[in-house]
Amino acid sequence: MIINSRFFNRSELIGFVALGLVLFVILPLSLDVFRLNLVAKYLTYAFVAIGLVLCWGYGGILSLGQGVFFGLGGYCMAMFLKLEASSVENTKIQSTPGIPDFMDWNQITALPLFWQPFHSLTFTVLAIILVPGLFALIIGTAMFKRRVGGTYFAIITQAVAAILTILIVGQQGYTGGINGMTDLRTLKGWDIRPDHAKVVLYFFEVFLLFGCILIAQFIRLTKLGRILVAMREQEDRVRFSGYSVANFKIFAFCMAAIFAAIGGAMFALNVGFMSPSFVGIVPSIEMVIYTAVGGRTSIFGAVWGALLVNFAKTGLSESFPQLWLFGLGALFIAVVLAFPNGLSGIWADHVQSRIDRLVSSIKKKSGDWTSNSVADGAPAE
């Protein structure tokens, strides 16, 4: 409790507990497995959104290519699951048994070299973190050391997202092409498809999400977090205070990439497939929308943003299949114009301040009563 009160201030602690209550108790109790699995899918984007809070909200680096890292993490996970699903026994009707079905359809007769290590779960877990991390390190170093920033950086990340999508679609035999990797079945022999597995995976994902929230909160509270804020405002002053601005940007960008990749890997597990439609420009921009709607400087806001926009998206697309994309665009424009700090800004400006006033007025009114009750309570201990 003492550690908590230093780690979180009062309203953050309330936010943490409230989110925990909703994700661990309320949603699992009130939703059927199908809807809970949908929430699990939405939450995979919350990982990306938390990363964007660090990178964009704090560091001021707008990346419009987070789908790249989401996709890399997702594909690493999917490759492992696909290999396990493509045992010789399962694929005996293929002309080359033991390789993923899409390879067989594309006349590939042996498992490509870069697929081999994905037989190992340990390697896969490391790859989920390291592949996107290294990729972000390379892009970050190339851009930030040359002082490419702002809009130019955003455009380049868009281009990377487009390139990766084209690459995945074009290399059908190695990646599954436009259909992606489907028919993922088991994780180390444990079937991920039945209802009880979906529930277990949901809770595992929420645990990971809270892990990422704590890491993000930790980074925010260190001097590095404050340097990110300082950099967003006065890059030159940070530079002339003796810091290599590029290194801090690279760090923030890599962290955002790793968070996105964890989300992607959870997507492959929870949803049971991975395809290039979660990698390209449109999903990457949607991820920024979640963060903007939630409030780009709020870690909890990002999670709520990812959840609410996706609920809205599902609701809208179920009722107005032709119109929902316009609705999403309008939502983004409305939020940016009217509430630049997103949901968390609305909360802090309108709800929190009212609650504070209410609490203080109640405290004032019941001042005598509280002191009496404490006095009464004391001997009972």
Partner 1 sequence: MLIGHQPKPFLLAVEALTVSFDGFKAVNNLSFYVEENEIRVIIGPNGAGKTTVLDLICGKTKATSGSIQFRGKELTKLKENQIVQTGVGRKFQTPSVFEDLTVFENLEISYPRGRTAFGSLVFQRDDAVKQRIEEVAEMIFLKDRLDIYADQLSHGQKQWLEIGMLLIQDPELLMLDEPVAGMSVSERAKTAELLNRIIKDRSVLVIEHDMKFVEDIAHKVTVLHQGQILSEGTMEKVKNDPKVIEVYLGH
Residues within the interface to partner 1 (CB under 8 A): 219, 222-224, 226-227, 229-230, 232-234, 236-245, 247-248, 250-251
Diameter of the chain measured on Cα atoms = 84
**C-beta of 52: minimal distance to partner 1 in Å?**
18
Query: What is the distance between the alpha carbons of residues 313 and 146, in angstroms, rounded to a whole number?
Result: 39
**Whether 294 contacts 305, CB under 8 Å:** yes
* Both structure tokens of 47: 């990982």
**C-beta of 59: minimal distance to partner 1 in Å?**
11
**C-beta of 218: minimal distance to partner 1 in Å?**
9
Rank residues 129 and 316 by Cβ distance to partner 1 and give the closer one: 129
**C-beta of 145: minimal distance to partner 1 in Å?**
10
**C-beta of 262: minimal distance to partner 1 in Å?**
19
Rank residues 237 and 350 by Cβ distance to partner 1 and give the closer one: 237
**C-beta of 224: minimal distance to partner 1 in Å?**
4
SS3 call for 112? coil
Output DSSP code: residue 381. -
**C-beta of 235: minimal distance to partner 1 in Å?**
10
Rank residues 168 and 228 by Cβ distance to partner 1 and give the closer one: 228
**Whether 229 contacts 25, CB under 8 Å:** no
* Both structure tokens of 134: 């290294």
**C-beta of 214: minimal distance to partner 1 in Å?**
14
Rank residues 180 and 345 by Cβ distance to partner 1 and give the closer one: 345
Rank residues 89 and 236 by Cβ distance to partner 1 and give the closer one: 236
* 159 Cβ contact partners less than 8 Å away, ≥ 6 residues apart: 65
Output DSSP code: residue 188. T
DSSP one-letter string for 351-379: IIHHHHHHHHHHHHHTHHHHHHHHHHHHH
DSSP one-letter string for 45-75: HHHHHHHHIIIIIIT----S-HHHHHHHHHH
Count of CB atoms within 10 A of residue 126's CB? 13
Rank residues 34 and 240 by Cβ distance to partner 1 and give the closer one: 240
Report the run of H or E that residue 346 belongs to, with start and end: helix 342-346
Rank residues 137 and 197 by Cβ distance to partner 1 and give the closer one: 137
* 61 Cβ contact partners less than 8 Å away, ≥ 6 residues apart: 55, 149, 153, 249, 252, 253
Q: Give the total residue count for the chain.
A: 381
Rank residues 242 and 321 by Cβ distance to partner 1 and give the closer one: 242
